[in-house]
């Protein structure tokens, strides 16, 4: 577990609660995204998992099967990928997203993903991925940059220029990558 996630509040079972998760009393609502918390992360460039500052440079997020296939397709064709449909899921640190992709059922399993995407990107991109190679259940993806809009009722994110693409077929696919990332953070100048 990344150190910044380790210090997050826990639910009754001991699971760390992401920064953007709303609470109902002492019950975190893992399936939902909190508007104020999400806006706070967006405005402060804070990680949506651990709530700590993301340094200048790339940011990461977890994408589901359809978007993973669309990105894979774009990379293979040598054309840029942009999620033209905004998403309500904000970015985070590489280690946090690697961790979340393996632990958070709403991120790790496409059928369990939040049903809150602003324009249901999975539907919007369905025509793009038709015929694309399937099999990946999602991916951890690094983007060069992102932009956001805090609207009256929701916070939407758009991501620009894929810089890293790590598809996963099984929930623990990124354990070695995460270990290496956490080890690298222990060395000065390597943290990201």
47 sits near Zn ion (criterion: CB under 5 A): yes
Among the listed residues 20, 46, 49, 100, the single contact to Zn ion using CB under 5 A: 49
Among the listed residues 8, 37, 61, 93, the single contact to Zn ion using CB under 5 A: 93
Question: Do residues 61 and 141 make contact, with C-beta atoms less than 8 angstroms apart?
Answer: yes
What is the token pair recorded at 106? 């709403």
Q: In this structure, is the dihedral angle defined by the CA atoms of residues 177, 183, 189 and 192, taken in order, positive or negative?
A: positive
Among the listed residues 59, 71, 96, 100, the single contact to Zn ion using CB under 5 A: 96
Which residue of this chain has its Cβ atom nearest to Zn ion in the complex? 47
- CA–CA distance, 118 with 98 (Å, rounded to integer): 23
> Which of 62, 188, 66 shows the shortest CA–CA distance to 120?
66
Number of separate helices (H) and strands (E) present in the chain: 8, 5
Q: Can you name the residues that pair with 64 across neighbouring β-strands? A: 138
Least CB distance from residue 170 to Zn ion, whole Å? 23
Least CB distance from residue 49 to Zn ion, whole Å? 5
Region of 75-83, 85-93, 104-112, 123-131 interacting with Zn ion (CB under 5 A) = 85-93
Closer to Zn ion at the Cβ: 72 or 101? 101
140 sits near Zn ion (criterion: CB under 5 A): no
Q: Put residue 161 in one of left, alpha, beta given phi > 0 → left and psi -120 to 50 → alpha.
A: left
Closer to Zn ion at the Cβ: 70 or 100? 100
Q: Which residues bind Zn ion (CB under 5 A)?
A: 47, 49-50, 92-93, 96
């Amino acid at each position: 577990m990344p150190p910044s996630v380790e210090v997050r509040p826990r639910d009754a079972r001991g699971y760390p609660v992401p920064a953007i998760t709303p609470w109902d009393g002492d019950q975190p609502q893992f399936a939902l995204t909190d508007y104020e918390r999400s806006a706070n992360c967006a405005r402060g460039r804070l990680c949506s998992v651990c709530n700590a500052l993301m340094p200048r440079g790339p940011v990461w997020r977890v994408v589901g099967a359809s978007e993973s296939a669309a990105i894979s397709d774009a990379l293979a064709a040598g054309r840029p990928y942009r999620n033209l449909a905004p998403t309500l899921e904000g970015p985070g640190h590489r280690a946090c997203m690697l961790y979340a992709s393996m632990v958070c059922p709403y991120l790790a399993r496409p059928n369990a993903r939040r049903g809150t995407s602003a324009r249901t990107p999975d539907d919007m991109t369905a025509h793009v991925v038709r015929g694309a190679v399937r099999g990946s259940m999602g991916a951890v993806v690094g983007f060069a940059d992102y932009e956001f809009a805090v609207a009256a009722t929701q916070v939407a994110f758009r991501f620009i220029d894929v810089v890293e693409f790590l598809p996963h077929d099984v929930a623990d696919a990124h354990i070695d990558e995460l270990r290496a990332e956490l080890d690298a953070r222990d060395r000065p100048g390597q943290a990201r």
